[in-house]
Structure 1
Amino acid sequence: MGVESWMADTRTSYDTVAASYADLLRNFLDETPYERATLALFASFVQAAGGGPVVDVGCGSGRITAHLHKLGVDAFGIDLSPGMIDMARRDHPGLRFEVGSMTDLDLAEGSVAGLVAWYSLIHIPDDQVGSVFAHFRRVLRPGSPLLLSFHVGDESRLKTQGYGGHPMKVYVHRRQPARVAAWLQEGGFTVEAQMTLTSAESSLGGIIFAHRQS
Protein backbone atom coordinates (compact mmCIF):
# COMPACT_ATOMS: atom_id res chain seq x y z
CA MET A 1 0.00 0.00 0.00
CA GLY A 2 1.43 3.38 -0.99
CA VAL A 3 1.75 6.31 1.37
CA GLU A 4 -0.90 8.28 -0.49
CA SER A 5 -3.37 5.39 -0.27
CA TRP A 6 -3.26 4.69 3.46
CA MET A 7 -3.11 8.37 4.32
CA ALA A 8 -6.15 9.12 2.16
CA ASP A 9 -8.05 6.24 3.77
CA THR A 10 -7.08 7.44 7.24
CA ARG A 11 -8.10 11.03 6.51
CA THR A 12 -11.45 10.01 5.02
CA SER A 13 -12.18 7.59 7.85
CA TYR A 14 -11.61 10.17 10.57
CA ASP A 15 -13.48 12.85 8.68
CA THR A 16 -16.42 10.41 8.64
CA VAL A 17 -16.35 9.65 12.38
CA ALA A 18 -15.18 13.06 13.65
CA ALA A 19 -18.39 14.18 15.35
CA SER A 20 -19.06 10.80 16.96
CA TYR A 21 -15.41 10.46 18.02
CA ALA A 22 -15.51 13.86 19.73
CA ASP A 23 -18.68 12.94 21.62
CA LEU A 24 -17.59 9.44 22.65
CA LEU A 25 -14.06 10.32 23.82
CA ARG A 26 -14.74 13.75 25.30
CA ASN A 27 -14.60 12.55 28.93
CA PHE A 28 -12.24 9.58 28.57
CA LEU A 29 -9.59 11.16 30.77
CA ASP A 30 -12.07 11.18 33.65
CA GLU A 31 -11.87 7.37 33.56
CA THR A 32 -8.09 7.06 33.16
CA PRO A 33 -6.18 8.22 36.26
CA TYR A 34 -2.87 6.69 35.18
CA GLU A 35 -3.01 8.52 31.85
CA ARG A 36 -3.82 11.77 33.67
CA ALA A 37 -0.78 11.21 35.88
CA THR A 38 1.33 10.52 32.79
CA LEU A 39 0.27 13.77 31.17
CA ALA A 40 0.88 15.69 34.39
CA LEU A 41 4.40 14.26 34.59
CA PHE A 42 5.06 15.22 30.97
CA ALA A 43 3.80 18.75 31.67
CA SER A 44 6.14 19.02 34.66
CA PHE A 45 9.11 18.03 32.48
CA VAL A 46 8.23 20.75 29.95
CA GLN A 47 7.86 23.36 32.67
CA ALA A 48 11.06 22.33 34.45
CA ALA A 49 12.96 22.85 31.20
CA GLY A 50 11.67 26.42 30.89
CA GLY A 51 8.43 25.86 29.01
CA GLY A 52 7.56 26.74 25.45
CA PRO A 53 5.17 25.48 22.78
CA VAL A 54 4.21 21.80 22.85
CA VAL A 55 2.66 19.99 19.90
CA ASP A 56 0.03 17.26 20.18
CA VAL A 57 0.57 15.32 16.94
CA GLY A 58 -2.50 13.46 15.75
CA CYS A 59 -4.61 15.49 18.16
CA GLY A 60 -8.00 14.28 16.95
CA SER A 61 -10.75 16.32 18.57
CA GLY A 62 -8.27 18.11 20.81
CA ARG A 63 -9.00 16.56 24.19
CA ILE A 64 -5.33 15.90 25.07
CA THR A 65 -4.28 19.33 23.79
CA ALA A 66 -6.93 20.93 26.00
CA HIS A 67 -5.92 18.87 29.03
CA LEU A 68 -2.29 19.89 28.65
CA HIS A 69 -3.40 23.51 28.39
CA LYS A 70 -5.25 23.13 31.71
CA LEU A 71 -1.99 21.85 33.19
CA GLY A 72 -0.30 25.12 32.21
CA VAL A 73 1.33 23.93 28.97
CA ASP A 74 1.33 26.08 25.82
CA ALA A 75 -0.11 23.24 23.74
CA PHE A 76 -1.39 23.19 20.17
CA GLY A 77 -2.66 20.36 18.00
CA ILE A 78 -2.07 18.98 14.51
CA ASP A 79 -4.16 16.30 12.82
CA LEU A 80 -4.42 14.77 9.36
CA SER A 81 -8.22 14.98 9.33
CA PRO A 82 -9.86 18.36 8.58
CA GLY A 83 -13.05 17.00 10.16
CA MET A 84 -11.22 16.32 13.41
CA ILE A 85 -9.67 19.78 13.37
CA ASP A 86 -13.15 21.26 12.93
CA MET A 87 -14.29 19.37 16.06
CA ALA A 88 -11.20 20.48 18.00
CA ARG A 89 -11.79 24.12 17.09
CA ARG A 90 -15.48 23.80 17.96
CA ASP A 91 -14.87 22.22 21.36
CA HIS A 92 -11.76 24.24 22.31
CA PRO A 93 -12.12 27.61 20.56
CA GLY A 94 -9.32 29.33 22.47
CA LEU A 95 -6.63 26.88 21.35
CA ARG A 96 -4.63 26.49 18.15
CA PHE A 97 -5.32 23.55 15.83
CA GLU A 98 -3.99 22.94 12.34
CA VAL A 99 -4.38 20.33 9.61
CA GLY A 100 -1.10 18.50 9.02
CA SER A 101 0.63 15.14 8.92
CA MET A 102 3.28 13.59 11.17
CA THR A 103 4.80 12.09 8.00
CA ASP A 104 5.70 15.61 6.82
CA LEU A 105 5.54 17.77 9.94
CA ASP A 106 5.35 21.39 8.88
CA LEU A 107 7.12 22.94 11.86
CA ALA A 108 10.46 24.70 12.08
CA GLU A 109 13.53 22.90 13.36
CA GLY A 110 13.84 23.07 17.14
CA SER A 111 10.58 24.99 17.44
CA VAL A 112 8.81 22.96 20.15
CA ALA A 113 9.60 22.31 23.79
CA GLY A 114 7.75 18.99 23.89
CA LEU A 115 5.81 16.59 21.68
CA VAL A 116 2.96 14.19 22.42
CA ALA A 117 1.70 11.47 20.07
CA TRP A 118 -1.27 10.03 21.98
CA TYR A 119 -2.45 6.81 20.31
CA SER A 120 -1.79 8.47 16.95
CA LEU A 121 1.12 6.32 15.75
CA ILE A 122 -1.23 3.35 15.52
CA HIS A 123 -2.02 3.96 11.84
CA ILE A 124 1.58 4.54 10.70
CA PRO A 125 3.04 1.53 8.85
CA ASP A 126 6.30 0.09 10.16
CA ASP A 127 8.31 1.33 7.20
CA GLN A 128 7.22 4.92 7.88
CA VAL A 129 7.89 5.06 11.64
CA GLY A 130 11.57 5.93 11.24
CA SER A 131 10.71 8.91 9.04
CA VAL A 132 8.07 10.07 11.52
CA PHE A 133 10.55 9.89 14.40
CA ALA A 134 13.04 11.87 12.31
CA HIS A 135 10.44 14.64 12.00
CA PHE A 136 9.79 14.48 15.74
CA ARG A 137 13.50 14.86 16.46
CA ARG A 138 13.88 17.72 13.97
CA VAL A 139 11.13 19.88 15.47
CA LEU A 140 12.04 19.24 19.12
CA ARG A 141 14.60 21.34 20.94
CA PRO A 142 17.62 19.35 22.15
CA GLY A 143 16.80 17.65 25.43
CA SER A 144 13.06 18.22 25.11
CA PRO A 145 10.60 15.51 26.19
CA LEU A 146 8.61 13.18 23.97
CA LEU A 147 5.57 11.23 25.15
CA LEU A 148 4.17 8.34 23.10
CA SER A 149 1.19 6.09 23.72
CA PHE A 150 0.11 3.19 21.54
CA HIS A 151 -1.69 -0.15 21.52
CA VAL A 152 0.50 -3.09 22.56
CA GLY A 153 0.58 -6.31 20.56
CA ASP A 154 2.09 -8.01 17.56
CA GLU A 155 -0.54 -7.72 14.88
CA SER A 156 -2.06 -5.27 12.41
CA ARG A 157 -5.74 -5.41 11.57
CA LEU A 158 -8.06 -3.54 9.26
CA LYS A 159 -10.70 -1.53 11.10
CA THR A 160 -13.84 -1.20 8.98
CA GLN A 161 -16.13 0.62 11.38
CA GLY A 162 -15.99 2.51 14.63
CA TYR A 163 -17.12 5.40 16.83
CA GLY A 164 -20.86 4.93 16.51
CA GLY A 165 -20.74 2.31 13.78
CA HIS A 166 -19.58 4.61 10.98
CA PRO A 167 -17.57 3.05 8.14
CA MET A 168 -13.79 3.25 8.38
CA LYS A 169 -10.85 1.85 6.45
CA VAL A 170 -7.74 2.11 8.60
CA TYR A 171 -5.10 -0.36 9.68
CA VAL A 172 -4.43 -0.43 13.42
CA HIS A 173 -0.85 -1.48 14.17
CA ARG A 174 -0.14 -2.95 17.63
CA ARG A 175 3.49 -2.97 18.73
CA GLN A 176 5.64 -4.11 21.61
CA PRO A 177 7.19 -1.32 23.75
CA ALA A 178 10.69 -2.74 23.24
CA ARG A 179 10.30 -2.40 19.49
CA VAL A 180 9.10 1.20 19.71
CA ALA A 181 11.90 2.02 22.16
CA ALA A 182 14.48 0.56 19.78
CA TRP A 183 13.15 2.69 16.91
CA LEU A 184 13.39 5.77 19.14
CA GLN A 185 16.97 5.02 20.13
CA GLU A 186 17.91 4.51 16.48
CA GLY A 187 16.28 7.87 15.75
CA GLY A 188 18.32 9.94 18.19
CA PHE A 189 16.18 9.73 21.34
CA THR A 190 17.03 8.57 24.83
CA VAL A 191 14.28 6.40 26.29
CA GLU A 192 13.72 7.19 29.96
CA ALA A 193 10.73 5.08 30.99
CA GLN A 194 8.12 2.75 29.59
CA MET A 195 5.03 1.07 30.97
CA THR A 196 1.94 -0.88 29.97
CA LEU A 197 -1.55 -0.41 31.33
CA THR A 198 -5.17 -1.30 30.75
CA SER A 199 -7.83 1.41 30.76
CA ALA A 200 -10.63 2.99 28.77
CA GLU A 201 -7.97 4.15 26.31
CA SER A 202 -6.75 0.66 25.39
CA SER A 203 -7.18 -2.99 26.36
CA LEU A 204 -3.37 -2.97 26.61
CA GLY A 205 -1.65 0.34 26.10
CA GLY A 206 2.02 1.25 26.00
CA ILE A 207 3.49 4.54 27.21
CA ILE A 208 7.07 5.70 26.58
CA PHE A 209 8.86 8.78 27.88
CA ALA A 210 11.93 9.85 25.92
CA HIS A 211 13.88 12.99 25.15
CA ARG A 212 15.71 14.25 22.12
CA GLN A 213 19.44 13.78 22.35
CA SER A 214 21.57 16.89 21.78
Structure 2
Amino acid sequence: MNAREVLERTRRDYDNVAELYDDMVRRGDEVTDNLSAAMINAFAGLVRSGGSDGAVIDAGCGPGQWTDHLDRNGVRTYGIDLSPAMVAIARRYRPDLRFEIGSILQLDAPDESVPGILAHFSLIHTPSEILPEVLAEFARVITPGGCLLIGVQITDTPGAEGWIPYDHKASPAFLWSLDALTARLRGHGFTELARMRIAASVPGKPPAGYLLARHDDNPPEAT
Protein backbone atom coordinates (compact mmCIF):
# COMPACT_ATOMS: atom_id res chain seq x y z
CA MET A 1 0.00 0.00 0.00
CA ASN A 2 1.47 3.35 -1.04
CA ALA A 3 1.38 6.58 0.95
CA ARG A 4 -1.68 7.96 -0.85
CA GLU A 5 -3.65 4.78 -0.19
CA VAL A 6 -2.66 4.78 3.49
CA LEU A 7 -3.78 8.39 3.87
CA GLU A 8 -7.09 7.78 2.15
CA ARG A 9 -7.84 4.71 4.26
CA THR A 10 -6.97 6.48 7.51
CA ARG A 11 -9.03 9.53 6.57
CA ARG A 12 -12.04 7.39 5.71
CA ASP A 13 -11.77 5.24 8.83
CA TYR A 14 -11.57 8.20 11.20
CA ASP A 15 -14.34 10.10 9.48
CA ASN A 16 -16.52 7.07 10.15
CA VAL A 17 -15.81 6.97 13.89
CA ALA A 18 -15.16 10.65 14.66
CA GLU A 19 -18.04 11.24 17.09
CA LEU A 20 -17.46 7.92 18.90
CA TYR A 21 -13.74 8.67 19.13
CA ASP A 22 -14.41 12.13 20.53
CA ASP A 23 -16.74 10.68 23.15
CA MET A 24 -14.05 8.17 24.17
CA VAL A 25 -11.43 10.90 24.42
CA ARG A 26 -13.62 13.17 26.52
CA ARG A 27 -14.42 10.34 28.97
CA GLY A 28 -10.74 9.33 29.07
CA ASP A 29 -8.88 7.39 31.74
CA GLU A 30 -7.65 9.31 34.79
CA VAL A 31 -4.28 7.58 35.19
CA THR A 32 -3.39 7.52 31.50
CA ASP A 33 -4.56 11.09 30.94
CA ASN A 34 -2.57 12.44 33.89
CA LEU A 35 0.62 10.67 32.81
CA SER A 36 0.12 11.78 29.22
CA ALA A 37 -0.36 15.34 30.41
CA ALA A 38 2.91 15.13 32.36
CA MET A 39 4.86 14.35 29.18
CA ILE A 40 3.01 16.96 27.15
CA ASN A 41 3.64 19.54 29.89
CA ALA A 42 7.35 18.71 29.80
CA PHE A 43 7.31 19.18 26.03
CA ALA A 44 5.48 22.50 26.48
CA GLY A 45 8.03 23.67 29.03
CA LEU A 46 10.92 22.97 26.66
CA VAL A 47 9.16 24.83 23.86
CA ARG A 48 8.54 27.85 26.08
CA SER A 49 12.14 27.88 27.31
CA GLY A 50 13.36 27.95 23.70
CA GLY A 51 11.97 31.46 23.35
CA SER A 52 10.52 31.01 19.85
CA ASP A 53 7.36 32.89 18.92
CA GLY A 54 6.47 30.26 16.31
CA ALA A 55 3.50 27.95 16.71
CA VAL A 56 3.74 24.28 17.64
CA ILE A 57 2.00 21.80 15.33
CA ASP A 58 -0.32 19.20 16.83
CA ALA A 59 0.17 16.77 13.95
CA GLY A 60 -2.82 14.45 13.78
CA CYS A 61 -4.78 16.44 16.32
CA GLY A 62 -8.00 14.42 16.21
CA PRO A 63 -10.75 16.27 18.12
CA GLY A 64 -8.19 18.78 19.39
CA GLN A 65 -8.00 17.93 23.08
CA TRP A 66 -4.22 18.32 23.27
CA THR A 67 -4.15 21.39 21.02
CA ASP A 68 -6.47 22.92 23.59
CA HIS A 69 -4.25 21.71 26.45
CA LEU A 70 -1.10 23.23 24.96
CA ASP A 71 -2.83 26.54 24.29
CA ARG A 72 -4.05 26.67 27.89
CA ASN A 73 -0.45 26.06 28.99
CA GLY A 74 0.88 29.10 27.16
CA VAL A 75 2.11 27.48 23.95
CA ARG A 76 0.89 28.80 20.61
CA THR A 77 -0.43 25.71 18.83
CA TYR A 78 -2.46 24.74 15.81
CA GLY A 79 -3.79 21.35 14.82
CA ILE A 80 -3.89 19.44 11.56
CA ASP A 81 -5.66 16.18 10.83
CA LEU A 82 -6.48 14.06 7.80
CA SER A 83 -10.10 13.66 8.85
CA PRO A 84 -12.47 16.51 8.01
CA ALA A 85 -14.89 15.13 10.61
CA MET A 86 -12.22 15.32 13.32
CA VAL A 87 -11.27 18.86 12.32
CA ALA A 88 -14.94 19.89 12.48
CA ILE A 89 -15.19 18.54 16.04
CA ALA A 90 -12.00 20.34 17.10
CA ARG A 91 -13.30 23.61 15.67
CA ARG A 92 -16.58 23.09 17.49
CA TYR A 93 -14.81 22.92 20.85
CA ARG A 94 -12.26 25.67 20.19
CA PRO A 95 -13.41 27.91 17.35
CA ASP A 96 -10.75 30.44 18.35
CA LEU A 97 -7.89 28.06 17.53
CA ARG A 98 -6.55 27.11 14.13
CA PHE A 99 -7.43 23.64 12.90
CA GLU A 100 -6.77 22.52 9.34
CA ILE A 101 -7.25 19.44 7.21
CA GLY A 102 -3.75 18.30 6.36
CA SER A 103 -1.21 15.50 6.19
CA ILE A 104 1.85 14.79 8.31
CA LEU A 105 3.58 13.93 5.03
CA GLN A 106 3.26 17.50 3.78
CA LEU A 107 3.21 20.14 6.50
CA ASP A 108 2.28 23.67 5.53
CA ALA A 109 5.29 25.29 7.20
CA PRO A 110 8.62 26.75 6.00
CA ASP A 111 11.90 24.99 6.71
CA GLU A 112 13.16 25.28 10.31
CA SER A 113 10.18 27.40 11.40
CA VAL A 114 8.37 25.24 13.96
CA PRO A 115 9.58 25.12 17.60
CA GLY A 116 7.93 21.78 18.29
CA ILE A 117 5.69 19.03 16.98
CA LEU A 118 3.33 16.86 18.98
CA ALA A 119 2.50 13.60 17.21
CA HIS A 120 0.07 12.12 19.73
CA PHE A 121 -0.78 8.62 18.50
CA SER A 122 -0.86 9.93 14.94
CA LEU A 123 2.00 7.74 13.65
CA ILE A 124 0.48 4.42 14.66
CA HIS A 125 -1.25 3.98 11.31
CA THR A 126 1.92 4.73 9.33
CA PRO A 127 3.61 1.65 7.83
CA SER A 128 7.33 1.35 8.53
CA GLU A 129 8.25 1.94 4.89
CA ILE A 130 6.47 5.33 4.93
CA LEU A 131 7.66 6.42 8.39
CA PRO A 132 10.99 7.83 7.05
CA GLU A 133 9.00 10.27 4.89
CA VAL A 134 7.11 11.50 7.93
CA LEU A 135 10.22 11.89 10.08
CA ALA A 136 12.02 13.69 7.25
CA GLU A 137 9.12 16.14 7.02
CA PHE A 138 9.21 16.70 10.78
CA ALA A 139 12.97 17.29 10.60
CA ARG A 140 12.49 19.75 7.74
CA VAL A 141 10.15 22.09 9.61
CA ILE A 142 11.44 21.88 13.20
CA THR A 143 13.92 24.53 14.25
CA PRO A 144 17.41 23.43 15.35
CA GLY A 145 16.99 22.63 19.03
CA GLY A 146 13.22 22.26 18.64
CA CYS A 147 11.35 19.37 20.23
CA LEU A 148 9.29 16.44 19.02
CA LEU A 149 6.98 14.42 21.26
CA ILE A 150 5.66 11.15 19.85
CA GLY A 151 2.98 9.04 21.51
CA VAL A 152 2.41 5.48 20.31
CA GLN A 153 1.03 2.19 21.47
CA ILE A 154 4.00 -0.07 22.15
CA THR A 155 5.05 -3.69 22.23
CA ASP A 156 7.64 -5.38 24.41
CA THR A 157 8.00 -8.19 21.85
CA PRO A 158 8.61 -6.46 18.52
CA GLY A 159 9.49 -8.17 15.28
CA ALA A 160 12.90 -7.90 13.67
CA GLU A 161 12.06 -4.42 12.31
CA GLY A 162 10.93 -3.12 15.70
CA TRP A 163 7.15 -3.29 15.19
CA ILE A 164 4.21 -5.65 14.88
CA PRO A 165 0.75 -5.14 13.32
CA TYR A 166 -2.12 -4.29 15.64
CA ASP A 167 -5.87 -4.65 15.16
CA HIS A 168 -6.80 -1.11 16.13
CA LYS A 169 -10.54 -0.43 16.49
CA ALA A 170 -10.50 2.59 14.17
CA SER A 171 -7.98 1.67 11.47
CA PRO A 172 -5.13 -0.83 10.90
CA ALA A 173 -2.17 0.12 13.07
CA PHE A 174 1.28 -0.87 14.31
CA LEU A 175 2.83 -1.34 17.74
CA TRP A 176 6.42 -0.12 18.04
CA SER A 177 9.23 -0.69 20.48
CA LEU A 178 10.53 2.60 21.84
CA ASP A 179 14.12 1.52 21.13
CA ALA A 180 13.28 1.00 17.46
CA LEU A 181 11.58 4.38 17.24
CA THR A 182 14.56 6.07 18.88
CA ALA A 183 16.84 4.54 16.25
CA ARG A 184 14.56 5.81 13.47
CA LEU A 185 14.54 9.28 15.00
CA ARG A 186 18.32 9.33 15.32
CA GLY A 187 18.63 8.83 11.58
CA HIS A 188 16.75 12.10 11.07
CA GLY A 189 18.75 14.19 13.50
CA PHE A 190 16.71 13.74 16.67
CA THR A 191 18.23 12.92 20.06
CA GLU A 192 16.08 11.27 22.71
CA LEU A 193 15.60 13.30 25.87
CA ALA A 194 13.08 11.19 27.78
CA ARG A 195 10.60 8.37 27.47
CA MET A 196 7.60 7.04 29.33
CA ARG A 197 5.83 3.68 29.35
CA ILE A 198 2.24 3.66 30.61
CA ALA A 199 0.76 0.33 31.60
CA ALA A 200 -2.39 -0.72 29.77
CA SER A 201 -5.55 0.52 31.46
CA VAL A 202 -7.52 -2.64 30.64
CA PRO A 203 -6.51 -6.27 29.94
CA GLY A 204 -5.70 -6.98 26.32
CA LYS A 205 -4.90 -3.37 25.45
CA PRO A 206 -1.26 -2.51 24.61
CA PRO A 207 0.77 -0.14 26.78
CA ALA A 208 1.19 3.48 25.71
CA GLY A 209 4.60 5.00 25.19
CA TYR A 210 6.07 8.47 24.71
CA LEU A 211 9.37 9.60 23.24
CA LEU A 212 10.53 13.18 23.75
CA ALA A 213 13.36 14.20 21.42
CA ARG A 214 15.28 17.32 20.38
CA HIS A 215 16.29 18.15 16.83
CA ASP A 216 20.08 18.53 16.62
CA ASP A 217 21.71 21.72 15.40
CA ASN A 218 23.83 19.69 12.96
CA PRO A 219 21.78 16.61 12.11
CA PRO A 220 23.37 13.72 10.21
CA GLU A 221 22.22 12.82 6.73
CA ALA A 222 18.97 10.89 7.01
CA THR A 223 19.03 7.15 6.35
TM-score by length of 1: 0.90
Tell me the secondary structure at the aligned position of residue 143 of structure 2: coil
- Listed as ranges, the matches of 1:10-29 within 5 Å are 10-28=10-28
Residue ranges of structure 1 left out of the alignment (5+ in a row): 163-167
Q: Could you say which residue in structure 1 is the equivalent of 2:189?
A: 188
Pairing 1:149–2:151 present: yes
| 1:203 CA drift (Å) | 3.5
The structural deviation recorded for 1:158 is 4.2
CA distance in 2, matches of 1:139, 1:78: 14
Q: Does the 8 A contact of 1:29 with 1:35 survive in 2?
A: no
1:49 corresponding residue in structure 2: 50
Judge which range, 18-27 or 95-104, deviates more. Answer: 18-27
Q: Report how far residue 2 of structure 1 moved.
A: 2.1
From 105, 117, 123, the equivalent of 1:115 is: 117
Distance 2:35 2:130 in 1: 29
The normalised TM-score by structure 2 is: 0.87
> Is the partner of 1:126 in helix, strand or coil?
coil
Question: In the alignment, which of 205, 208, 222 is matched to residue 205 of structure 1?
Answer: 208
Q: Give the unaligned 5+ runs of structure 2.
A: 159-163, 218-223
Root mean square deviation, CA, Å: 1.7
How much does 1:27 deviate? 4.2
Query: 1:28 deviation in Å?
Result: 2.5
Deviations 1:156-196 (CA, angstroms, capped at 9, x unpaired)? 1344xx4xxxxx5x221000000000000011111112221
Larger CA deviation: 88-97 vs 23-32: 23-32
**2:199 aligns to what SS in structure 1?**
strand
Q: What percentage of aligned pairs have identical amino acids?
A: 35
SS at match of 1:7: helix
Summarize the Cα distance change of 1:62–1:200 in structure 2 as closer, same or farther, 3 Å threshold: farther
Q: 1:43·1:71 contact (CA, 8 Å) conserved in 2?
A: yes
| C-alpha distance in 1 between matches for 2:42 and 2:7 | 32
1:26 partner letter: R
For 1:175, the aligned partner's letter is W
Runs of at least 4 residues off by over 4 Å = 199-202
Q: How does 1:161-172 map to 2 (within 5 A)?
A: 162=169, 168=170, 170-172=171-173
Q: By percentage of residues, which structure has more strand?
A: 1
- Alignment-derived partner of residue 165 in structure 1: none
How many residues of Structure 1 are paired with residues of Structure 2 in the alignment? 206
**Cα distance, 1:51 vs structure 2:** 3.8
Distance 1:158 1:2, change over 3 A: farther
Instruction: Kindly indicate whether structure 1 or structure 2 has the higher relative contact order, using CA contacts under 8 Å at least 6 residues apart.
Output: 1
